[in-house]
A and B are shown apart, each in its own frame.
Chain A
Amino acid sequence: MSEQASTPKAGSETPMVEMRGVNKWYGDFHVLRDIDLEVRRGERIVICGPSGSGKSTLIRCINHLEEHQQGEIVVGGVPLTQDVKRIEQIRRSVGMVFQHFNLFPHLTVLENCCISPMWVQKKPRREAEAEAMKYLERVQIAEQARKYPGQLSGGQQQRVAIARSLCMHPEVMLFDEPTSALDPEMIKEVLDVMVELAREGMTMLCVTHEMGFAKTVADRVIFMDQGQIIEENAPEPFFNDPQSERTRLFLSQILGH
């Protein structure tokens, strides 16, 4: 199915993320309906859909920022339960990038990157900083390390946020509309970093409307509407020959002009 870039490391081992029959309600609102999803290691998945379709909620369930009420979620072989220790264990192996960056404004870029290695993984500052600099270089922002987030542009902030997640050595990265709060000229610098990351074989789940990104990088594209997965396919058939009427409508709306 995947024709692009690197191949998944091994299809036989346990899936990175597994969701079975997941349901979630906000009060009476049924926001996720019978979600079944399996993400293999090294796989890149793009999730799209109209706003309010539950796509953000879906990936936020994976690191338990949202709680699901029915069904089963297993991350890296660890089932997600109410157990606080397990939640922390899962969050250590799952990196997340937010729409609004959510950098800590009272800490410098470098401190933002070191906070989790130093306090959670209990690394010495020197080691944590050296590693953070390595990742900041990779997202090409090392020269800004001593600045505060408020001094950076949106694109720069988002790249710092990616570096901050990478400092934890996550096994899977979640992207929650990482480019939708950015000015057009800054979208590319963030997407470049994400493409680079994909090329290195990172398991990724991206909620995004960047269809160019989906075409170049994704192994699978998922279309969601009204809290359910409507269509799930490799990018080429997904874009060229969408099966469902809703998918067709959605694609025509976002690619139409």
Chain B
Amino acid sequence: MTIQREMIPARPAPGSTIGPIAWLRANLFSGPVNTVFTLLGLYLLYLLLVPTIQWAFIDADWIGTSRADCSREGACWVFINARIGQFIYGLYPGSEIWRVNLTFAVFAALIAWLAIPRLPFKRWVAVLTLVAFPLLAYFLLYGGHFGLRVVETHRWGGLTLTLILAVVGMVGALPIGILLALGRRSQMPIVKSFCVVFIEFWRGVPLITVLFMASVMLPLFMPTGVSVDRLIRAFIGITLFQSAYMAEVIRGGLQAIPRGQEEAAAALGMTYWKRMGLIVLPQALKMMIPGIVNTFISLFKDTTLVMIIGLFDLLGIVQAALSDSRWLGFALEGYVFAAFMFWIFCFSMSRYSQYLERKLHTGHKR
């Protein structure tokens, strides 16, 4: 029989198991193999980072206006500086750029409202973003009303166009995707098979063939004499393509809702559309947001493909600037800049979606 009358106080862990030295030993040098890996990793890092930093910062030219200012061995960011306006706004007329800025400011505010968990009225802001904002954006960007000058779509370009394409594709694809997902779960055989074929068709072909189709076949489908704006054609192609992927994300979210929810709603006497609209979809949408953000990221990256059908998105306009005879030989700078822009957007979005996923997971456990 043993009885411990006095409680043993907690002691700090022995020095060999905590602290930076112990951390190093446990995580980097825990054995001969590990040590070799660590040294190899350090060498690799040295090989990659040192020349990169040297090129991008230490040996780089930052200020100037023309090619002549690119005198040093490293990167010449003067090229980017000189072109930044085009890279962001395309050929949008200089005096009207405030319209683009205003549109994006409104958009950023709406998205920020949606993304910050604590703010109220989420549902109304979402409706505003999906319905009112596209109209506002159209009037602001295209103009022609309220005394705003018309800016033809062929002047749109750069980061502006990339964002417009991605957002339009997304906003257009969401309702179609919801209908397709509901259709795919439907009991009606014709509706179901129609949705399955539609979804699998668009998911089975590369976006580039879709864009080709939109650019060469769409004009054939229209009545003779009707021509469709090139940008609209890209919108149609991207939206159809994206809606198939969106449908699959939504179907996944719908499947995650227990059957009991729909049964309970039916027991309360709700019709199909009320069951979906009031009970199932609101719950499912919450679970779908990470998936939706992920498809948005791939759409955002995929918008670069529109340059193949002759639109100048961010990558397209960088690529065009590279062949400017006054600025030959700055391909690396151009691509690094474009890659950096895309990376910032995609990385922050993917971080946000990971955060949501974690929140969703813990929220469900507890």
A–B interface present (Cβ within 8 A): yes
Residue of A nearest to B8 (CB): A33
In the complex, the answer to whether B17 meets A244 with C-beta atoms within 8 Å is no
In the complex, the answer to whether A234 meets B2 with C-beta atoms within 8 Å is no
In the complex, the answer to whether A243 meets B14 with C-beta atoms within 8 Å is no
Known: A69-B13, A228-B7. Is A28-B18 also a contact (CB below 8 A)? Answer: yes
In the complex, the answer to whether A25 meets B4 with C-beta atoms within 8 Å is no
Taking a contact as CB atoms closer than 8 A, the residue among B1, B2, B3, B11 that contacts A30 in the complex is B11
* Chain A CB within 10 A, most for which of B7, B12, B13: B13
Number of interface residues of B (CB under 8 A): 15
Taking a contact as CB atoms closer than 8 A, the residue among A28, A34, A231, A234 that contacts B12 in the complex is A28
- The answer, yes or no, to whether B118 is at the interface (CB within 8 Å) is no
Known: A230-B3, A233-B1, A244-B3. Is A69-B10 also a contact (CB below 8 A)? Answer: no
Known: A226-B7, A228-B8. Is A237-B14 also a contact (CB below 8 A)? Answer: no
> B residues within 8 A CB of A70?
14
Residue of B nearest to A33 (CB): B8
In the complex, the answer to whether B13 meets A231 with C-beta atoms within 8 Å is no
> A residues within 8 A CB of B17?
25, 69
- The answer, yes or no, to whether B123 is at the interface (CB within 8 Å) is no
- The answer, yes or no, to whether B5 is at the interface (CB within 8 Å) is yes
Q: How far is the CA of A2 from the CA of B63 in the complex (A)?
A: 88
- The answer, yes or no, to whether A171 is at the interface (CB within 8 Å) is no
Q: How far is the CA of A25 from the CA of B11 in the complex (A)?
A: 9
- The answer, yes or no, to whether A229 is at the interface (CB within 8 Å) is yes
Residue of B nearest to A30 (CB): B10
In the complex, the answer to whether B4 meets A228 with C-beta atoms within 8 Å is yes
Size class of A's contact patch? Answer: 20 to 34
In the complex, the answer to whether B3 meets A243 with C-beta atoms within 8 Å is yes
Taking a contact as CB atoms closer than 8 A, the residue among B2, B10, B16 that contacts A33 in the complex is B10
> B residues within 8 A CB of A184?
none
> A residues within 8 A CB of B4?
228-231, 244
- The answer, yes or no, to whether A131 is at the interface (CB within 8 Å) is no
Q: How far is the CA of A210 from the CA of B17 in the complex (A)?
A: 36
- The answer, yes or no, to whether A232 is at the interface (CB within 8 Å) is yes
- The answer, yes or no, to whether A256 is at the interface (CB within 8 Å) is no
> B residues within 8 A CB of A212?
none
Which A residues between 210 and 257 are near B, CB-CB below 8 angstroms?
A: 226-234, 237, 243-244
In the complex, the answer to whether A30 meets B13 with C-beta atoms within 8 Å is yes
In the complex, the answer to whether A28 meets B13 with C-beta atoms within 8 Å is yes
Q: Render B6-30 as a binary contact track against A, CB cut-off 8 A, 1 for contact.
A: 0110111110111000000000000
Separation in Å of the B132 CB from the closest CB of chain A?
50
Separation in Å of the B340 CB from the closest CB of chain A?
37
In the complex, the answer to whether A237 meets B1 with C-beta atoms within 8 Å is yes
Separation in Å of the B5 CB from the closest CB of chain A?
7
Q: How far is the CA of A28 from the CA of B4 in the complex (A)?
A: 23
Residue of B nearest to A29 (CB): B10
Which A residues between 15 and 29 are near B, CB-CB below 8 angstroms?
A: 23, 25, 27-29
Residue of A nearest to B3 (CB): A243
> B residues within 8 A CB of A34?
8
> B residues within 8 A CB of A1?
1
> A residues within 8 A CB of B16?
69
Q: How far is the CA of A167 from the CA of B3 in the complex (A)?
A: 37
Q: Render A4-40 as a binary contact track against B, CB cut-off 8 A, 1 for contact.
A: 0000000000000000000101011110011000000
> A residues within 8 A CB of B1?
1, 232-234, 237
Q: How far is the CA of A227 from the CA of B14 in the complex (A)?
A: 16
> B residues within 8 A CB of A230?
3-4
Q: How far is the CA of A235 from the CA of B205 in the complex (A)?
A: 71
> B residues within 8 A CB of A28?
12-13, 18
Q: How far is the CA of A228 from the CA of B5 in the complex (A)?
A: 11
> B residues within 8 A CB of A30?
10-13
Q: Render A24-66 as a binary contact track against B, CB cut-off 8 A, 1 for contact.
A: 0101111001100000000000000000000000000000000
* Chain A CB within 10 A, most for which of B8, B11, B18: B8
Separation in Å of the A30 CB from the closest CB of chain B?
4
- New A-B pairs, 10, CB < 8 Å, besides A227-B10, A230-B4: A28-B13, A34-B8, A69-B13, A69-B17, A70-B14, A228-B4, A229-B4, A232-B2, A234-B1, A244-B5
> Chain B residues in contact with chain A, CB under 8 A?
1-5, 7-8, 10-14, 16-18
Task: Offer 14 A-B interface pairs, CB within 8 angstroms, sorted by A.
Answer: A25-B18, A28-B12, A28-B13, A29-B10, A30-B11, A30-B12, A30-B13, A69-B13, A69-B16, A69-B17, A228-B4, A228-B7, A230-B3, A231-B4
Shortest beta-carbon contacts, A-B, top 6: A25-B13, A30-B10, A232-B2, A33-B8, A243-B3, A233-B1
